Amino acid sequence: MRVLGVDPGLTRCGVGVVEGEAGRPLRMVGVGTLRTPVEADVPERLRLLEVGLEEWLETHRPERVAVERVFSQHNVRSVMGTAQASAVAMLCAARRGLPVALHTPSEVKAAVTGSGRAEKAQVGAMVTRLLRLTELPRPADAADALALAICHIWRAPAQHRLAHETARARTAATRLPKGARS
Amino acid sequence: MRVLGVDPGLTRCGVGVVEGEAGRPLRMVGVGTLRTPVEADVPERLRLLEVGLEEWLETHRPERVAVERVFSQHNVRSVMGTAQASAVAMLCAARRGLPVALHTPSEVKAAVTGSGRAEKAQVGAMVTRLLRLTELPRPADAADALALAICHIWRAPAQHRLAHETARARTAATRLPKGARS
C-alpha cells in the first residue's frame, strides 16, 4: 500500500509518501513541505497548494491519502487556514478517486510512539527509525506527514477488521429472538 | 460588474449571480442551491461541490466572487464544513484568476437592510425588492448568496476608495517632519 500523508497548512503543508504493509518494514518514497507566501491572499494560497499537491499525486501515485483531522478548539485563525488546506487535499484525492482517511494528531502519535501524548521530537525520532532514515526529516510538518502515512498503513487493517466485526455483531443482534435483547 | 455570491456549506451551498453598479438598478442573473448528500464522505462532498461551482462559473462568467467569511465561534462541526466549502469556492475562483472578496454576515445584512443585526426574513425581503423579483428566493441560502453579491457590488467602490485613502494617508505620514508624529 502506498500512502500520501498530508499535514495540512497554508504556510507549511507537510507531505510524505510511505509504502508498506502492517507488520512489514516500511519504505519512504518521498517527503517534503509545500509553502505558500504569507503575503498572498487565501484564494491564491489555496490555488498554489493545489498545484503542489497535484504534483505530488502525479509523481508518486499513492493509492490512499491520509490527512490530519482538524479540530477547532485551537487558535481560530490558524484553524481556518488548516481546515481550508485540508479541504484542498481531500478534494485533490477525491477527484482522483483515491480513498481519504482522517486521523487525529493523538491517533498518529499513539500509532508511531505508543503514546497519544508524545512530543514532536519523539514522533520525529520514531519516524526516522521506522523508515530507517539517516536523519530526522525537517521541518516537523514533513515528519508529521510521514507519521500520518505510517499511522494509516498500520491502522487500515484494524479499521477494516473493526468495520467487519461491527457489521457481524449487528447481523447477529438482528438474529436474536426478541426476549434475548434487553 | 457581474458578481457570483457564495454562501458556503456542504449540505446546502447558496449561489447567486447579480449584475450592476453601485447607485444603479441591479439585475439577478441566476440563483440556486448546490447540495451534496449527507451520507457521502467529506472528500466526495467537496468534489461534488467543486463540480457544481465550476458549472456556475462556466455558465455565468462572473468577474468577481464574493464568499461569506467564516467564523469559528459557532458550532465546531458545522464551521469545519463551512470553512472547507468556502475553500473550494475560493480555489475555483483563484484558478480562473477571479478576485475573491470575503464579507461577514453582518456586513452583508448592513449592506442590504441598513442593520448588521437584521433577521433572515428582512434580508430576504430586501433582496427580493432590490432585484425586483416576483417572489422571495428560497431557501435562505440562495437569498443570502444574492445578498452577498449585492453587498459586494455596493461595497467594492467604498473599499477601493478606502484602500486609496489609507495609502495616501500613509504616504502623507511618512512625509511629516519627525517632531510632528507623537
B42: nearest CA partner in chain A: A90
Looking at the complex, does the CB of residue A69 fall below 8 Å from at least one CB of chain B?
no
pLDDT at position A179: 46
Instruction: Say how many domains are in chain B.
Output: 1
Q: What is the CATH number of the domain that holds B159?
A: 3.30.420.10
* A160 within domain boundaries: no
Element (H, E) at B64: strand B64-68
Residue B182 lies in a domain: no
Over its length of 182 residues, how does chain B's per-residue pLDDT go in tens digits? 999 999 999 999 999 999 999 889 999 999 999 999 999 999 999 999 999 999 999 999 999 999 999 876 656 667 888 999 999 999 999 999 999 999 999 999 999 999 999 999 999 999 999 999 999 998 999 999 999 999 999 987 666 666 566 666 665 655 554 444 44
Residues B44, B45, B46: CA angle, nearest 5 degrees: 90
Closest Cβ opposite residue A83 in set B71, B83, B94: B83
Distance in Å, alpha carbon of B131 to nearest chain A alpha carbon: 29
CB of A159 less than 8 A from some CB of B: no
Establish whether B68 is an annotated binding residue: yes
Q: Which of B4, B6, B42 to mutate to test the interface with A (most CBs of A within 10 A)?
A: B42
For B74, other C-beta atoms within 10 Å of its C-beta total 11
- CB-nearest partner of A84 from B50, B83, B95: B83
Q: What is the pLDDT of residue A163?
A: 59
Q: Shortest Cα distance from A95 to chain B (angstroms)? A: 6
Instruction: State how beta strands A27-35 and A64-68 pair.
Output: unpaired
Q: Is A55 an interface residue toward B (CB < 8 Å)?
A: no
* CB distance B130 to B150 below 8 Å: yes
B94 CB within 8 Å of a chain A CB: yes
Q: Does the annotation list A144 as a binding residue?
A: no
- Is the separation of the CB atoms in A104 and A71 below 8 Å? yes
In which element (H, E) is residue B151 found?
helix B140-175
- Residue A175: the pLDDT is 54
Closest to B155 (Cα-Cα) out of B120, B103, B93: B103
What local confidence, expressed as pLDDT, does residue A166 receive?
A: 63
Instruction: Beginning with the edge strand found earlier in the chain, give each strand of the sheet holding A64-68 in spatial order.
Output: A27-35, A12-19, A2-7, A64-68, A100-103
- CB A87 to CB B84 under 8 A? yes
- Catalytic residue numbers of B, as ranges: 7, 68, 141
Contact predicate B112/B147, CB 8 Å: yes
Q: Quick check: is A162 in a domain?
A: no
Q: What is the pLDDT of residue A181?
A: 43
Question: Could you tell me if B39 lies within 8 Å of chain A, comparing CB atoms?
Answer: no
For residue A23, is it within any domain?
Answer: yes
Write down the pLDDT at residue B75. 64
**Residue A73 touches chain B, beta carbons under 8 Å:** yes
- Chains A and B: how many Cβ contacts under 8 Å? 74
Q: Does A87 touch chain B (CB under 8 A)?
A: yes
Domain range enclosing A13? 2-154
Complex prediction ipTM: 0.82
pLDDT score for A172: 63
Locate B54 and state its grid cell.
Answer: 465550476
Q: What is the pLDDT along chain A (182 residues), one digit of tens a residue?
A: 999 999 999 999 999 999 999 889 999 999 999 999 999 999 999 999 999 999 999 999 999 999 999 876 656 667 888 999 999 999 999 999 999 999 999 999 999 999 999 999 999 999 999 999 999 998 999 999 999 999 999 987 666 666 566 666 665 655 554 444 44
Distance from CA of A72 to the nearest CA of B (A): 6
Q: Is residue A174 one of the residues assigned to a domain?
A: no
Q: Which of B46, B70, B95 sits opposite A80 (nearest CB)?
A: B70
C-alpha cell of residue A68: 490530519
Q: What would the pLDDT profile of B50-99 be if each residue is shown by its tens digit?
A: 999 999 999 999 999 999 998 766 566 678 889 999 999 999 999 999 99
In which residue are the cell numbers 449527507 written?
A: B38
Amino acid present at B59:
T
Q: Is residue A177 part of a domain?
A: no
Task: Show which of residues 126-145 on chain B sit within 8 Å of chain A, judged by CB atoms.
Answer: none
- Measured CA to CA, the distance from residue B112 to residue B118 in angstroms comes to 9
Q: How close, in Å, is residue A85 to chain B by CA atoms?
A: 8
> Is B141 marked as binding a ligand?
yes
